[in-house]
């Protein structure tokens, strides 16, 4: 990854980008029964920020979001969705001409950072274990934080996280979820824990199992979770064909 | 409305707006069993365009979208939803410095219109009968067109209509729809026709009725549609409390 970082660093110039438009990515991962979000710790200010960037003059927003995700996680081909544009004029009202996290040797136009920016919010669901967390040119650290840790974010970045979580909760009501967040094989309690973590509340075990099985998106495997006792829970996998169908058509089916 | 148009006309100056950012509104109405979209016919070029505009330096995108809707329809307080940002660099590649639909006496910066624009797409559902369709400063006519009429739109505006329709179809699968599109009292065949029109295909009468009633968002009224025969269909209204609940929680219910 070193080469890639070096490339990104030396090639950053504000003149490459359109004024007024940025993007921010809420990258969700699930680990140790907690929903995490990938964050950057900015140089010098030590504030937290979402992985994001600006829109190059010749690229689409989707290309920009994929570029950011690839640079921060090493991953491509991941679930990525535009969910909201944040356009409060006050969000960038106090932007300085040169934020403290900008290195002195970085080429930039004096007015670029002080301009008003609207930011396009994306959220992504990734396999926590596959992410190679990599800081960007403005940050000294790239790390997972629990979604409930709200302190020390710049601008409206924690509001963006909360809004992404809200959209994820809505998605949970009418689309299947989990394929990008769980390992290939998982137990029913693990799946339930994922749902509980996203929803922020406990669910009844029997109701959850009855409801999730009624959507017919799971294959029950003949094997139990390894390392457990004889009574350890059975493993499941997603039936990808039916999962994709439910993703397209919604859990309540077609009219 | 005349006064409002005059005001809008004389106050338009490109320097009021941010560069690179526009918005376009797909305003759906339902009339004569057809799904319609509100369109503008541009001056001189006579091309079709979506009602839209630019982002004022001190307003949010939501305020801009409400401003556009109010100016074109006379309505406020209507269902309005941001659904996608269109950011293909090619969409504004051939924008001239002065499009033919700009009046000569309008104050504008030479470079404004030729810049690259990303556009934020909104869709709105309105009561067809309540709209007072009003052209903007660039257009000579504001009128309803059938959504299947695809010809003569500028830029990617017909693609924006198709994408909004796609989002509306998805919404139909997990949220109730109709409150903003139908009169207060309606028959089951009228509601079914609305669904069929949005989906672009016919539905089985019995299945539709069974499914829509199972969501418990309708009140059956004691009266039949006026002017019909003794066998004319019963009238229904939406149960607004349950409708709102289903809007928030989705038709498949909470976990």
CB spacing of B85 vs A61 below 8 angstroms = yes
C-beta of residue A131 within 8 angstroms of C-beta of residue A31: no
Instruction: Write down the CATH number for the domain with range B5-172.
Output: 3.90.79.10
DSSP assignment of A34-69 equals EEEEEEEEETTT--EE-SEEEEETT--HHHHHHHHH
What whole-number distance in Å separates Cα of residue A240 and Cα of residue A235? 16
Q: Mutate which of B18, B83, B156 to disrupt the A interface (most A C-beta within 10 Å)? A: B18
Check if B5-172 and B175-249 are the same fold. Answer: no
What's the mean per-residue pLDDT of chain B?
Answer: 90
CB spacing of B174 vs A20 below 8 angstroms = no
CA dihedral defined by B53, B56, B62, B68, rounded to 10 degrees? -30
CA dihedral defined by B93, B95, B97, B103, rounded to 10 degrees? -170
Band of residue B224 on the pLDDT scale cut at 50, 70, 90? confident
Q: Does A62 touch chain B (CB under 8 A)?
A: yes
Cβ atoms within 10 Å, residue B133: 18
C-beta of residue A27 within 8 angstroms of C-beta of residue A124: yes
Q: Which residues of A touch B211 (CB under 8 A)?
A: 255
CB spacing of B85 vs A120 below 8 angstroms = yes
CB spacing of B120 vs A85 below 8 angstroms = yes
How far B2 CA lies from chain A's nearest CA (Å)? 31
Q: Low-confidence residues of chain A, pLDDT below 70? A: 1-11, 228-230
Band of residue B173 on the pLDDT scale cut at 50, 70, 90? confident
Fold topology of B175-249: Arc Repressor Mutant, subunit A (1.10.10)
Q: What is the mean pLDDT of residues B90-105?
A: 89
What whole-number distance in Å separates Cα of residue A178 and Cα of residue A219? 14
The residue ranges of every structural domain in chain A are 5-172, 175-249
Band of residue B7 on the pLDDT scale cut at 50, 70, 90? very low
Nearest to A171 by CA among A85, A255, A83, A86: A83
What whole-number distance in Å separates Cα of residue B251 and Cα of residue A152? 38
Q: Does B167 touch chain A (CB under 8 A)?
A: no
CB pairs under 8 A between A and B: 86
What whole-number distance in Å separates Cα of residue B181 and Cα of residue A202? 38
Q: Which residues of A touch B215 (CB under 8 A)?
A: none
CB-based contacts of B201, cutoff 8 Å, min separation 6: none
Q: Which of helix, strand or coil describes residue A242?
A: helix
pLDDT at B11: 62
Nearest chain A residue to B206 by CA distance is: A255
- Quick: pLDDT tens for B112-167: 999 999 999 999 999 899 999 999 999 999 999 999 999 999 999 999 999 999 99
Q: Which of helix, strand or coil describes residue A13?
A: coil
Reading the block at residue B104, the tokens are 């000569």
């Amino acid at each position: 990854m070193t080469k890639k970082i070096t490339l990104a660093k030396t090639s950053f110039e504000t003149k490459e980008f359109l004024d007024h438009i940025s993007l921010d990515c809420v990258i969700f991962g699930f680990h140790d029964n907690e929903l995490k979000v990938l964050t950057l710790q900015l140089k010098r200010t030590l504030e937290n920020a979402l992985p994001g960037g600006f829109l190059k003059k010749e690229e689409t927003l989707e290309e920009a979001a994929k570029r950011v995700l690839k640079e921060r996680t090493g991953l491509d081909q991941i679930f990525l969705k535009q969910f909201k544009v944040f356009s409060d004029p006050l969000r960038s009202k106090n932007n300085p001409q040169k934020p403290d996290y900008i290195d002195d040797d970085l080429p930039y136009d004096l007015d670029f950072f002080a301009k008003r920016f609207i930011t396009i919010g994306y959220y992504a669901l990734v396999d926590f274990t596959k992410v190679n967390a990599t800081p960007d040119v403005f940050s000294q650290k790239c790390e997972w934080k629990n979604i409930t840790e709200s302190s020390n974010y710049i601008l409206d970045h924690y509001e963006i996280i909360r809004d992404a979580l809200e959209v994820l909760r809505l998605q949970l009501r009418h689309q299947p979820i989990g394929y990008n967040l769980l390992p290939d094989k998982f137990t029913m309690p693990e799946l339930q824990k994922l749902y509980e973590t996203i929803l922020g509340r406990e669910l009844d075990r029997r109701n959850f199992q009855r409801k999730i099985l009624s959507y017919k998106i799971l294959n029950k495997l003949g094997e139990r979770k390894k390392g457990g006792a004889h009574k350890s829970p059975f493993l499941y996998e997603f039936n990808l064909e039916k999962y994709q169908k439910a993703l397209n058509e919604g859990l309540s089916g077609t009219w």
